[in-house]
Structure 1
Amino acid sequence: MPPVNSSQRLTRSLLLAVFSVTIGTWYPLGFSLTNINAPEDVIVQWMRTVECHRSLHANADDSTLWCRPAYYNETHQLLKENFVLNSLWALVGCSLIVGCFVSIWIANYMMARLGMKVTFYICNAVVAVGVALCGCCVVAKSYALFIIGRFVVGMGLGVSISAASIYIAEISPVRLRGALGTVPSLLYGSGMLTAAILGLPQILGSEETWTGLSWFLFLPVILHFVSLPFCPESPRYLLLNKKDKVNGEKALQWLRKSADVKEEIRDRKRRSCRRRSTHRLGDWSVQRQLLRRNILICVAIIIDQRFTGYVAVYTYSTAIFSSVGLARLQSMYGTIGLMFVQTMSGVSGMLLMDKAGRRKLLIAGNIGCTLAMVLLTVFSLLVNRGVCPQCQWGGLAAVLAFIILFGIGPASVPWVLTAEMFDKSSRSSAMTVVMACCHAAGGTVAAVFPLMMTSLDAWTFLVFAGIMTVFTVFFWWTVVETKGKTFSEIQAILWQKYNKQD
């Protein structure tokens, strides 16, 4: 076999840079999304206690609703009979994603004006403030403070996860861009797994210690602050935005562990000049049409990812397992198994991304997730109606199958494709739009799912299956394969495909 070009090697410096930006962005996002999952019963009971004291102090008529004794295994019934409590719990679940949605609109401005590294530092400081607010909620006896803290954490992560995806795409060699582009999903799953394990009652999921799940987030924040100074600014940002050839060359040399990066720099400049020439001589209406179509496809991919129901599965998996007949502790262990499977499937997705290709993984994963949701609906109905009590294990298997198939395809592909389908001039703006739609859809699912579960019960999962079916047909006709191609080659393929369709 011919030797691999030095610019295409996986170096320790490149790995450090990728790890640094993901441990401080995607890992906290996965952890924050899931750290209310296992201790759901404890948090809901604490919220009832806070409101009970307030209603007794105010001599409110509804004090009985908040103060009557209840066991942990009655949480689902409590949420069903108390609309205000259910709405507050839905707000807890979606506040993180709403914060991401609000902040994403300044991501493009921050990355263009401040660069990637300064953006990461600012966002990490915001996350630290949100963590402190969440950690102090019990002392302050305020569930509003907990909701606000999760919102602030989302504000910091909304910008940083967008910057992380673009940064990884810009520092990665073409041959490794797909594999390294799945690292955020891998760390995202690792964050979820960590939250599921720490959320066990015997660790941090008890009445006295559940706020420790919030304080734990300081660990990745500190790791990010410590490792980021060793990483360079994005070479593309330095070369094309700042016109800083000296530091751009130094950044590439550090990432590639090679002094000979002049050919890569010349190649980047040639592609940049070619794009500027195209913008001067081309038909602007055609270019805008190409951009709109690319954004439409990427938005559809990310909305499909959110409406697979995975946000609901990850945020409320303990409640889902309980709804198919598992005991509370069994549901918690099921959640840990689910997060472990998610992490392992993320590794599989990393290995397959540059072999099977993005399009195949996306479509095959979508079909598999649809079938898993249909089976989960069937098993849940059989258990709830007493026809087949043993089918609770079938429901567990259906959820695990969903996670495997989701982790291999729909979990990672959207972020890789979004970073690949746009050139430098439009990539950050396109990522902003896609991320905004991502958080809007995710927030909608997280907020509506508890209400859907109390009204539609097991039929909830069939709704997600129907949505995935529609999107799978759309992807079959619109998504192109980008595996192993440079950004310029991808733009040429898209241009040719859309011109043929016209």
Structure 2
Amino acid sequence: MLGSGTLDVFHHLCQVQYRKLLLMILVLGIGGTHLGGFQLSVINYTSLYIQKFINETWLERYGSALHQETLTLFWSFIVSIYCIGGVIGCLCSGYLAAKYGKKKCLLINDVVLIIATLNTGFSRRAKSFEMILIGRFLEGICAGVCMNAHVQYAGEISPKKLRGFVNVTSSVFLALGKAVARVLGLRDLLGTEDMWNVLLSFSGFVALIQLLFLPFFPESPPYLFLQKGDKDGCLKAMKQLWGEENCRTEFDDMVKEKAVTKGTKIMNVLEMLKEPSVHPQLCTMLLLLLSLQLCGLSAITFYTLEIFQTANLHESIIPYVALGVAVSELISIIFCSSIIDRFGRRILLWGGYLLMALVLVLLETSLLLSDRFLWMRYCNVILIFLFIIAYGIGPAGAVSSVMNEIFTLSARSSAFVIGGIIIWLGLAFTGMIFPFAVMTLGPFCFLIFIAVLVVSSVLIYLFVPETKGKSTFEITEEFKTRRYKKKRHQTVENNVTEEKIYCTKL
């Protein structure tokens, strides 16, 4: 069953009419979420070298070394300013995508990112740690823009039967970025004192590739037709990406969506928050993102090194085992992309969270018993791999797909602004608060995440609709139907209550 689902996806992609779509997915990915994943991970492999560089630069300028507290403060600025830039980038992404389209938005972003990486790349030669601060801030802005634009763009260039697969590719490239950072960050490659600035500026090379090749691909068909009213341009783009056969059905769905949203302009964030018709979709997105942020991945990442060390793994081997964790995440998300259009999104979400909760229960038990049974330390390593695989097959890929599918074009850009801000603030929050939670609770911190995973699984099962094989128009109508049923149920209850009161008075 799994094999046939995987073969169906690859059979479609190997067809001649989808080859340009496949190439476009690659070009979008390397300059999209791949950059975000790379930049989030790469800072871990340069931290010691950057702190040493800051100290040496300060000593050369002022003749005295920095106090450890001041050095830590400078380092925290470099780390946190990236997240601040990410929030600003998210706020800008909605306006830029609506005004210029996703394609131009990404091309402008590539130029800014190249400038940012030139700052970080030449900071060592210029003996200026301020250039690293500026570079990381600009990189954060670019990450906030490109991650939002890429996910939306990928969803809009995909035909209905491949939409789940194409949506999940944004998560695939995010995991690929993390894995590439781990590979290049090895001491055998660029993770050295002489090459850390080259490692930091690698993103600029990837952005240059997208800048050179993306102009050869079309803007997204829904943007051309629904927002710009360019029917001919839309049909031309659809034929380029999907071939002649699939255009008519997909175009008919767009015509239905345009009829429903006729006269509706692209909503900004405030307008969206005030619009009652999109509140169910916003609540769904909030549930999915909070579940993803609090699923325990940060806890696993924090404990990975300690677990590897207690398993008596040699120091020289640990980076390669950690690389294995990143590769297992990448492979599991690729597997998710091949089955999501067969099994749907809901089962991957609630089933994935339940499986992750089960693995955390086993890991919690294993950690508590590791001192009594030494062999259980090796079980801890295996359970980390199993948790990452469950995360990759389930929520890591399915969340981005559902987010892309539940909003119409008029609301999508602003929805991703809100979603992006939640993600970036969540990253900053977990980075600041989680270490203190670990210090206070120790391995018992996993109990919090187990509870979150179980509750998330139940809520998703009860309230999140299946979006597999449905057009945006059909999904929107399903949300309207649910909302109408809820209102009708409340009205009936109110009427019954009024009748009881009236009868009592009589």
Quickly name the TM-score band, shorter chain normalised. 0.7 to 0.9
| Offset from partner CA, 1:371-395 (integer Å, 9 cap, x none) | 3334444444555xx4344433222
| Offset from partner CA, 1:244-290 (integer Å, 9 cap, x none) | 222222111211232883554344223311333999xxxx99x9334
Q: 1:23 aligns with which of 20, 30, 36?
A: 30
Would the alpha carbon gap of residues 323 and 147 (structure 1) be closer, same or farther in structure 2, given more than 3 Å must change?
farther
Would the alpha carbon gap of residues 376 and 134 (structure 1) be closer, same or farther in structure 2, given more than 3 Å must change?
farther
| Offset from partner CA, 1:16-74 (integer Å, 9 cap, x none) | 2222111101111111111133x26xx236515633774798787x96x74xxxxxxxx
Contact 1:16–1:231 (8 Å) recurs in 2: no
| Offset from partner CA, 1:232-252 (integer Å, 9 cap, x none) | 011111112111222222111
Q: Which amino acid aligns with 1:181?
A: N
Would the alpha carbon gap of residues 227 and 328 (structure 1) be closer, same or farther in structure 2, given more than 3 Å must change?
same
Contact 1:92–1:147 (8 Å) recurs in 2: yes
Aligned to 1:172: 158
Contact 1:100–1:439 (8 Å) recurs in 2: yes
Contact 1:7–1:173 (8 Å) recurs in 2: no
> Is 1:438–2:423 an aligned residue pair?
yes
Q: Which amino acid aligns with 1:394?
A: C
Q: 2:346 aligns with which of 359, 369, 372?
A: 359
Other structure's SS at 1:233 match: coil
TM-score (norm 1): 0.84
Q: 2:396 aligns with which of 401, 411, 415?
A: 411
Contact 2:43–2:200 (8 Å) recurs in 1: no
> Is 1:192–2:183 an aligned residue pair?
no
| Offset from partner CA, 1:390-415 (integer Å, 9 cap, x none) | 43322221221111011111111121
Q: Which amino acid aligns with 2:322?
A: T
> Is 1:119–2:126 an aligned residue pair?
no
Counterparts of 2:220 and 2:262 in 1: how far apart (Å)?
21
Counterparts of 2:130 and 2:360 in 1: how far apart (Å)?
34
Matches within 5 A, 1:326-405: 326-383=313-370, 386-405=371-390
Q: 1:477 aligns with which of 462, 478, 485?
A: 462
Matches within 5 A, 1:287-306: 288-306=275-293
Aligned to 1:72: none
Other structure's SS at 2:316 match: helix
Aligned to 1:227: 213
Would the alpha carbon gap of residues 338 and 435 (structure 1) be closer, same or farther in structure 2, given more than 3 Å must change?
same
Counterparts of 1:216 and 1:438 in 2: how far apart (Å)?
24
| Offset from partner CA, 1:122-155 (integer Å, 9 cap, x none) | 1112222222233234445555543442232120
Q: Which shows bigger deviation, 166-175 or 262-271?
A: 262-271
Would the alpha carbon gap of residues 309 and 129 (structure 1) be closer, same or farther in structure 2, given more than 3 Å must change?
farther
TM-score (norm 2): 0.83
Counterparts of 1:230 and 1:125 in 2: how far apart (Å)?
17
Counterparts of 1:352 and 1:59 in 2: how far apart (Å)?
61
Q: Which amino acid aligns with 1:433?
A: I
* Gaps in structure 2 of 5+ consecutive residues: 1-7, 266-270, 488-506
Would the alpha carbon gap of residues 255 and 89 (structure 1) be closer, same or farther in structure 2, given more than 3 Å must change?
same
Counterparts of 2:318 and 2:401 in 1: how far apart (Å)?
33
* Gaps in structure 1 of 5+ consecutive residues: 67-82
- Let me know the Cα RMSD of the aligned residues: 3.4
Contact 2:114–2:205 (8 Å) recurs in 1: no
Q: Which shows bigger deviation, 231-240 or 255-264?
A: 255-264
Contact 2:160–2:250 (8 Å) recurs in 1: no
Aligned to 1:236: 222
Q: Which amino acid aligns with 2:408?
A: D
Aligned to 1:156: 142
> Is 1:496–2:486 an aligned residue pair?
no
Would the alpha carbon gap of residues 256 and 118 (structure 1) be closer, same or farther in structure 2, given more than 3 Å must change?
same
Give the total of aligned pairs.
Answer: 472
Aligned to 2:504: none
Would the alpha carbon gap of residues 129 and 317 (structure 1) be closer, same or farther in structure 2, given more than 3 Å must change?
farther
Aligned to 1:14: 21
Contact 2:90–2:420 (8 Å) recurs in 1: yes
Matches within 5 A, 1:18-57: 18-37=25-44, 39=45, 43-44=47-48, 46-48=50-52, 50-51=54-55, 54=58
Aligned to 1:71: none
Q: Which amino acid aligns with 1:134?
A: T
Other structure's SS at 1:153 match: helix
Q: Which amino acid aligns with 2:486?
A: Q
Q: Equivalent pairs: percent with the same residue?
A: 27
Counterparts of 1:196 and 1:317 in 2: how far apart (Å)?
14
Q: 1:133 aligns with which of 106, 111, 119?
A: 119
Counterparts of 1:469 and 1:309 in 2: how far apart (Å)?
12
Other structure's SS at 2:205 match: helix
Shift of 1:332: 0.8
Q: 1:466 aligns with which of 435, 451, 457?
A: 451
Counterparts of 2:117 and 2:249 in 1: how far apart (Å)?
45
Shift of 1:370: 2.4
Counterparts of 1:239 and 1:277 in 2: how far apart (Å)?
14
